Amino acid sequence: MIECIEKGQAFSTFKLLIAAVVAIAMLTILLPIINQIGGIGQTNPNDEAARQINGVGPGEHRLTRSVNFSQETTLNARTIAAGSDKYSEDQVCVTKGEFDDTIFEEVEGRTVQYKGTGAQAVKLSIICDRGDLMQRAFEDNGLEETLGESRTFCSALEDKTGCSEGSKQTCCIVMIRKT
């Protein structure tokens, strides 16, 4: 049995317990609201793609950490290329990857705009190689089955990107993946 030496000791413990319960309840309510706004420590998709694309070697695949798309966020080939040390705008193709047209809208490999409501956490898949070796790079990295449609999409944009199948120019394909 617990023995209280001074009057009111048990009451102060009870007050501390109530304060902890109230704090947990407030966090439960506030965290989803904060995540809806854009989250804490979340990375901009264009910045993360530009940062990662510099380190991707020929035929190499890189999967980024989680990034957040909020309403009207656009993944942009020009912005990624501008943040890159190695590639120009015509060497970067962006696609909706594993998502359908209701959530992300593609425009000629140049932009992908998020059309959803609320925040959408995703990862970006980045692969770089010469246009004529891109299919092999997808196959070697086990991406052809799940993301081969993105490669085909970028290959068909011959006059817009350097990713056409016969091209000797290096290009990078940035694809949106589910987390």
Q: Supply the range of the domain harboring residue 58.
A: 45-178
Q: How many domains does the chain have?
A: 2
Question: Taking all residues of the chain, what is their mean pLDDT, rounded to a whole number?
Answer: 84
| 136 falls within a domain | yes
Which residues lie below 8 Å from residue 139, measured CB to CB, with a gap of 6+?
none
| 2 falls within a domain | no
| 1 falls within a domain | no
| C-alpha closest to that of 163 among 121, 129, 138 | 129
Q: Are residues 151 and 172 in the same domain?
A: yes
Indicate the residue type of 22.
V
The pTM for the full model equals 0.74
User: For the chain, percent helix, then strand, then coil, each to nearest 5?
Assistant: 40, 25, 40
Q: Using alpha carbons only, give the angle 133, 134, 139 rounded to the nearest 5 degrees.
A: 100
Q: Are residues 81 and 162 in the same domain?
A: yes
Q: Residues 163-171: what's their mean pLDDT? A: 83
Q: Are residues 57 and 128 in the same domain?
A: yes
| Per-residue pLDDT, 53 | 93
Q: Are residues 53 and 111 in the same domain?
A: yes
CB-CB contact of 133 with 59 (8 Å)? yes
pLDDT bracket for residue 8 (50, 70, 90): low
pLDDT bracket for residue 76 (50, 70, 90): very high
Q: Are residues 100 and 164 in the same domain?
A: yes
| Per-residue pLDDT, 10 | 63
Between 86 and 9, name the one with better pLDDT. 86
Q: Are residues 66 and 29 in the same domain?
A: no
Between 40 and 29, name the one with better pLDDT. 29
Give pLDDT tens digits for 83-119.
988 899 889 999 999 987 788 998 888 999 999 888 8
Q: Using alpha carbons only, give the angle 73, 75, 79 rounded to the nearest 5 degrees.
A: 115
Q: Are residues 110 and 30 in the same domain?
A: no
